[in-house]
């Protein structure tokens, strides 16, 4: 595991579906699936769990962040690994502005090893913004992350991100599909 926040948001160029580089239909179907990734993984594997790697409050101007919340002072940064059958298959990073964490949303700061996706998709007032994707190639921090997980990194790894809105309050979820995720196998 890595010991400091991973700069997933800055490590690649993010694009919408009509701007993205070509990839296989299988990868494309995972990247643009609008449903809950947690639910999809729970349906495909016998065991699913979340392991928190980091959760901390940091300055919104920190260079490792997305820059999606320029008017915020502080961000709750949460990094987790999604495990399927005891293997990490997704690295997820969430940026939650502290202004989002008031009233009903305060629970989001205290979910521990619960799946954020499960909480979001159970909320009937949740809205999701457009999905953006990024291709990661020749990325030293990413290669180090894969090595720390004892996973051989393919030439390209794919990630997606989108903003979610709860009661019109935003948060950003970025999901990197790790080599063991299976989306890269033909």
Query: What's 152's domain CATH number?
Result: 3.40.1410.10
Residue 4 is assigned to a structural domain of this protein: no
pLDDT higher than threshold 80 for residue 57: yes
pLDDT higher than threshold 70 for residue 12: no
Owning domain of residue 134 = 25-162
Could you tell me the two tokens for 36? Answer: 């809950």
CA distances 48 to 34, 36, 39, 88, 178, Å, are 20, 14, 10, 10, 15
Residue 141 is assigned to a structural domain of this protein: yes
Residue 132 is assigned to a structural domain of this protein: yes
Global confidence as pTM = 0.91
Could you tell me the two tokens for 65? Answer: 């962040």
Residue 7 is assigned to a structural domain of this protein: no
Residue 183 is assigned to a structural domain of this protein: no
**Domains: count for the chain:** 1
Residue 14 is assigned to a structural domain of this protein: no
Residue 115 is assigned to a structural domain of this protein: yes
Confidence (pLDDT) at 6: 63
Q: Compute the 3-state secondary structure of the chain and give helix, strand, coil in percent, each to the nearest 5.
A: 25, 35, 40
């Amino acid at each position: 595991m890595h010991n400091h926040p991973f700069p997933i948001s800055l490590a690649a160029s993010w694009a919408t579906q009509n701007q993205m580089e070509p990839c296989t239909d299988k990868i494309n179907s995972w990247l643009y699936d609008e449903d809950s990734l947690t639910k999809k993984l729970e349906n495909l594997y016998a065991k699913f769990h979340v392991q928190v790697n980091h959760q901390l409050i940091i300055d919104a101007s920190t260079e490792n962040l997305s820059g999606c919340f320029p008017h915020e002072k502080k961000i709750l940064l949460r990094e987790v690994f999604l495990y399927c059958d005891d293997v990490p298959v997704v690295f997820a990073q969430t940026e939650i502005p502290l202004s989002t964490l008031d009233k009903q949303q305060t629970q989001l700061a205290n979910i521990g090893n619960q799946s954020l996706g499960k909480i979001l998709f159970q909320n009937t007032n949740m809205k999701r913004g457009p999905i953006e994707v990024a291709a990661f190639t020749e990325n030293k921090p990413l290669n180090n992350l894969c090595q720390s997980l004892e996973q051989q990194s393919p030439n390209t790894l794919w990630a997606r991100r989108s903003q979610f809105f709860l009661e019109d309050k935003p948060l950003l979820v970025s999901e990197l599909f790790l080599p063991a995720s299976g989306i890269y196998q033909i």
